[in-house]
Amino acid sequence: MGFAGQHIISIGDFSAEDIRELLRLAHRIEQDPPPDLFRNRLMATLFFEPSTRTRLSFEAAMQKCGGTVIGFSEAAMTSARKGESLADTIRMVEQYSDVIVLRHPRDGSARLAAEVSSVPVINGGDGANQHPSQTFLDLYTIDKLFPNCFAEHEDQPLTVAFAGDLRYGRTVHSLLAALSHFHVRVLCCAPHGLEMPDHHVRLAQQQGIEVQEVEHLADAVAQADVLYMTRLQEERFPDPIEFDHVKNTYRLTAQLLTHAKPHLRVLHPLPRVNEIARDVDTTPHACYFAQAGNGIPVRQALLSLVLGLAP
């Protein structure tokens, strides 16, 4: 579909070539960031749910290249508290800004916002549904770690293992859909009841991707080139007792990594709670903090494309 003037709502809207275009641009921007790229452009960040990385890295991406930012990080301080609808909020903010980044607890909220907005809306996470800018930075990180793995004629499939809460974790839903364009093999390793939803697996399989369930984290560690860990999304569990049953069931430790391939790289969208032990941080496998840093060039690339400013 391309990017210029587009809303960024679901990773499913983008082709393999769109993704490669974004990754190429992010590489160029990372090497030589244009200081005035976003001069006279204003971004609004509307965050109805907590965030550290997504909001701050979008804001840093904009400001480092000469743009300005307005927004909020807490809906309680806005007129949503007085009952203003999301659609009306967007109809206001589109008049103040050139692009809107929205995070909202309801699935489908970003799509709704896009329907009423005349400026591009970027989905910064809608409920358990999608988080496309996170997916672009995940892909960028994997591409840097395994150069050419997303090339058109790559022979050797990359094995990507997803582990943790695959039911409520939106980042894994987006990433599985994106990886389905490429030559990968996917392993899914989740506590009982938190498996990857069937419709996401079916979509990937229809694209020709092998998706295999793996019961034990140790098996995923042993087979994977990339291990993508996720936090249990406590806030999305309908029943706290259900959460208590599964918490602490999946924990990656340095000891477990002694069975990994030497080149295994561990990613995590963060924040982590206790699913990755601190002793993993100092192993050569840990890449999650560098992954978060990649949010800057990737979001600069995304903003420049939707604003029609690509250098």
CA–CA separation, 127 and 130 (whole Å)? 7
Q: How far is the CB of 169 from ligand CP (least distance, A)?
A: 10
Structure tokens at 156: 């050797």
* Sheet-wide strand order for 68-72: 68-72, 42-47, 99-104, 121-126
Q: How far is the CB of 232 from ligand CP (least distance, A)?
A: 14
Q: Is 52 in the site for ligand CP (CB under 6 A)?
A: yes
Name the segment binding ligand CP (CB under 6 A); options: 51-59, 70-78, 210-218, 296-304.
51-59
Binding test (CB under 6 A) with ligand CP, winner from 60, 218, 222, 270: 270
Window 90 to 149, contacts with ligand CP (CB under 6 A)? 125, 134
C-alpha closest to that of 178 among 216, 150, 219: 150
Q: How far is the CB of 134 from ligand CP (least distance, A)?
A: 5
Q: Does residue 199 have an active-site annotation?
A: no
Question: Site map for ligand CP, 53-92, x if CB under 6 A?
Answer: xx--------------------------------------
Residue for token pair 């910064």: 124
C-alpha closest to that of 224 among 162, 155, 278, 279: 162
Taking every pair of Cα atoms in the chain, the longest distance, rounded to a whole number of angstroms, is 56
Q: How far is the CB of 170 from ligand CP (least distance, A)?
A: 9
CA–CA separation, 28 and 61 (whole Å)? 14
Would you tell me which residues interact with ligand CP (CB under 6 A)?
51-54, 125, 134, 269-271
Give the residue numbers marked as catalytic.
Answer: 53-54, 82, 103, 131
